[in-house]
Amino acid sequence: MKFYNLVLTLASLAHLVLAQTQWPIHNNTLNSVVEWDHYSYIIKGQRLFIWSGEIHYWRIPVPELWIDILEKVKAAGFNTVSFYGHWGYHSAADGSLDFETGAHNFETLLEITKAIGLYVLFRPGPYVNAESNAGGFPGWLTTGAYGTLRNNDSRYTDAWKPYFTKYSEIVAKHQITKGGSVFIYQIENEYGNQWTNVAARTPNNPAIAYMETLEKCARDAGIDVPLIHNNPNMNTKSWSKDYGAGFGGNVDNYGLDHYPSCWSCDLAECRGTNGNVPEFTVYNYYNNFQQVAPTQPSFLAEFQGGSYNPWGGPEGGCVNTTGPDWVNVYYRHNIAQKVSAMNVYMLFGGTNWGALPFPMVGTSYDYSAPISESRAIGDKYHETKLFAQFLRVARDLTKVDLISNGTFFASDPAIYTSELRNPDTNAGFYVTIHTSSPSKELTHFKLNVSTSLGNLTIPQYATDVVLNGRESKIIVTDFSLGKQKLIYSTAEVLTVSTQDKEPLLYLWLPATESGEFLLSGVKSADLLKKTGCSDFQVQKRSDGLVVSYKQLQGTCVVKFSNGYRVVLIDRSAAYDTWFPSTSSDPYTPENSTVIVQGPYLVRSASVSQKTLTLQGDWSSSNSLEIFAPSTISHVTFNGKNIKVSRTNYGSLLGALAPSIHSVESIKEGLPALTSWKVADGFPEKQAEYDDSKWTIADHTSTQNPTKPATYPVLWADDYGYHSGHFIFRGRFPSSNSTASGVNITVIAGVSSGWSAFLNGAFIGSWIGSKSVTRSSLVLSFANATLKTENVLTVVIDNMGHDQTSGATNPRGIYNATLIGGGKFTEWRIAGTAGGQKNIDPIRGPYNEGGLHGERLGWHLPGFSDESWNSSAPTIGLTEAGAKWYRTIVPLDIPSCLDVNLGFRLSSSSGSILRAMIYVNGYQFGKYIPHIGNQVIFPVFPGILNYNGDNTIAISVWAMDAKGASVGVEWDVIGVVESGFKMGDTGYLRPGWVDRSVYY
């Protein structure tokens, strides 16, 4: 088995001992609504496999879209959703907090989750990492004035307490103990610092004090649900009441993070944590959980759901690295490791708009997640859904022991099997995988299983079970099915829906494979729908029937003598099948579900007397087949009546109206992006530019741990500028100066870039490097004309603050030394208009930086560009410098559609440029073709006005003397007919106001 830290079959004796242990049930003594034991969480008295996915509301700053994402989460079968907070998003300055304007008011999320039936894992920080600027710390915290951060330094404590207290007070109102949806609350993030020596358990007292202060703060603010922490890897073993018994700082529940195939598309980033192992290697979590937290559920509080795409990564991300086959293998492997709670990071990634990202990533935070950045769903989502629907109905899986594992279960040693068993019901789960998990071989095998009817080798009549390369299957035994049992099935369980008081079972297989199952307590079976299978055979036994068949594309329906129905379905048809619940209970009782085959998405279902009301989306496929209680005779879809007829096997057949819309038709109807206006985007390069309202940079000392080589201090954060571009202007006289050049060193993060001008003349650029954060150039004044007073202008593309201990790494000019003699007499700095005043609170502190057009509000709707000349970004510049382009385009997208729009940017080969695109005032794309490969930039509806005018602005910065241009065109990413209706979003797009007070 390609395990890292192999689960040895010899350990099975220890597993059997564990299986005999009586594990106590725990709670945090504040309530018994949420309890837990060695096996799983027990919520409101019911065991539940926690199946959660991560979403960052601040990466989709349109509250009206949150319900769209959450409905897709619910439709995929998740019972929980996880939210990170973001201190910096809510705090533009020390003493300032915003939980009210626009997307800063996150309470809507908690109202939606309660209404549709999702529990919530909330992770407020104060530090969150998340590939975000400074790991979620506000810019004002990074100056060094608050210490090194993430410890018990009183300066840091005084800084985070107001944020953490207010956040906790808001969340406290929505806890499950108060009738809400939040069932657990995370303290800090990936802070595995409890020990200075893990093996010796030598306590790290400052870290312990920090955790204890955070925990007390949460409790004082009203948080009474369990507290959790997510350890960054299996080496840290921190904050568990089991491993850390007798030491301080422990939370109620231990959690573990792991990214087995790397959190980045650049696999080299993960070798220090994961080792230099082959791709598709699976890992042993079981031993870690038994050592560190044996009395608690095995909780993967962050488990890989995709990977972020760093600058220079593949265009569109590394989707195939964690595609449907990865989902199939790794999530089932976690079951084999006796995991009973899992949070997938990310389920929906969103967009790094503005200055949200840390330096290593660009605008997209698609993360190759099941729900794409554009909100579209595809095969990865559907494969995740198949696994989730099984978890939903595999109730016995919430209390299992790992009995044994090895190659001896299967007839072929190329197959490795883990046996899990419920000690109360004897239900068994056999997780099969290739012994070498990276294998791409096609392997046929039989499996030895233990059942209530004795030991069996299965299949008994059908052809062998198949694992086709990177694939895993969970073979169930003694699976409860109403009053009977599914003694075994070589096809995987998809779902169970109780209709008319009888279970309707779905079993799935890839098409062309054979399946077999034994159902107890039945005497005969009729194949009522035959088109989706062949070779159907029934073998009678005294204790039931064995059914064997070959799965074809589509479905078959079998009805048994006791009224039970079994639907046999292939993978592709299962992808198009939905299981909405009429209940808002995250437990999702089996008698609350209906089954709908055909549409692109089913968002919700409700029943009133004889009417089934469905809300959803559809595109090219418009057929419907519905399995619902027999009392249902009338169906509506998105408010329209659907004519249905009943089949002889009890389903309802109907059809939606064919869609007349497509990607092509929508694209043809979009307005041309041709009527552009242009203005100089960098007048600051001229010596005569008036910078009298700029901030004078005159600090002779800094609290930042990194001291500059020259003074005054030119760290932007020290002057209240934290995000986006900075512009510095330094003056020096020609009298008594023989300066012939300048030595400049800039610290602005990896992939950052900068250009320098002397008295308006371009003297050079650092174009950027994916590995260099501190860049230096010696620039000659040879092509510039010296004057009585000279002005050196440096524009810097700051890529954001580093994460973890690097959050206090400075941003700005480290060294500015004239070559040949002379000194600078004054420096001034420009950054975000208003600095920390947050003059655009709806968009917030990360949206804009210090470019000329940003400071003057040229990116905002309502700015008058009447005096500008006509041009286009495709014309661009013929020299180094910057230009700013604007156009206004109307949209009129039909309200019956959910359309995913974006922009595609392009440039000629070899162009050295940095461009940003702004949509109705929001910076929604950073394009650096010589550094990164992102060319498509999705933009959410609500940022775009789908039924009105839209202001599109583009800044183009040419970094070398040959100039640059940028092509801009619409990209239609997806189109579906939809029941999703957005509310009014006009408040998210405030217009221009005069900013002359600042510049």
Neighbours of 164 (CB within 10 A): 23
Name the strand (E) or helix (H) holding 17. Answer: helix 12-19
Q: For the residues of 260-319, what is the DSSP string, one character each?
A: TT-SBSSGGGGHHHH-S--TT-EE--HHHHHHH-TTS--EEEEEES--B-BTTS-TT--G
**What is the residue whose two structure tokens read 């600078």?**
824
Q: Which of 302, 492, 848, 854 is catalytic?
A: 302
Q: How far apart are CA 350 and CA 922, in angstroms?
A: 14
What's the angle, vertex CA 406, arms to CA 400 and CA 409, rounded to 5? 85
Q: Check residue 132 and report its DSSP letter.
A: B
SS3 at position 969: strand
How would you list the strands of the sheet with 46-48, edge to edge? 34-36, 41-43, 46-48
Distance (Å) of CA 834 to CA 797, 830, 924: 19, 10, 21
Q: What does each C-alpha distance from 612 to 498, 590, 656, 812 come to in angstroms?
A: 16, 17, 15, 61
Max Cα distance, the chain (Å): 108
Residues with Cβ within 8 Å of 974's Cβ and at least 6 positions away in sequence, in order, are: 374, 375, 376, 663, 898, 899, 900
Give the integer Cα–Cα distance in Å for 298 and 333: 13
Distance between CA atoms of residues 557 and 559, nearest Å: 7
Question: Which residue has tokens 């657990």?
Answer: 184
Angle in degrees, CA 56, 62, 68, rounded to 5 = 75
Residue 188 among the catalytic residues: no
**SS3 per-residue string spanning 925-962:** EEECCCCCCCCEEEECECCECCEEEEEEEEEEEECCCC
Known active-site residue 190: yes
Identify the CA nearest to 50 among candidates 380, 302, 425, 415: 302
What is the three-class DSSP state of 60? coil
Tokens 């949806």 label which residue? 181
CA quadruple 617, 936, 841, 161: dihedral positive or negative?
Answer: positive
Residues 812/775, Cβ–Cβ less than 8 Å: no
SS3 annotation, 439-480: CCCEEEECEEEEECCEEEEECCCCCCEEEECCCEEEEEEEEE
Q: Dihedral (C-alpha) 216, 219, 225, 231: value to the nearest 10 degrees?
A: -20
Residue type, 618: W
CA 985 to chain centroid, in Å, comes to 24
What distances in angstroms separate CA 552 from CA 13, 212, 627, 951, one per listed residue?
42, 58, 20, 52
Q: Give 131's contacts (C-beta < 8 A, 6+ positions apart).
A: 308, 352, 357, 358, 360, 361, 365, 803
Rounded Cα–Cα distance for residues 556 and 203 (Å): 61
Find where tokens 């915003």 sit.
98
> Beta strand 533-541 with 50-55: parallel, antiparallel or unpaired?
unpaired
Counting Cβ atoms within 10 Å, is residue 771 exposed (0-12), middle (13-18) or buried (19+)?
A: exposed
Nearest to 1 by CA among 448, 467, 414, 431: 414
Residues 61 and 7: their CA atoms lie apart, in Å, by 44
In the set 54, 64, 190, 848, the catalytic residue is: 190
Q: How many residues does the chain have?
A: 999
Give the active site residues: 190, 302
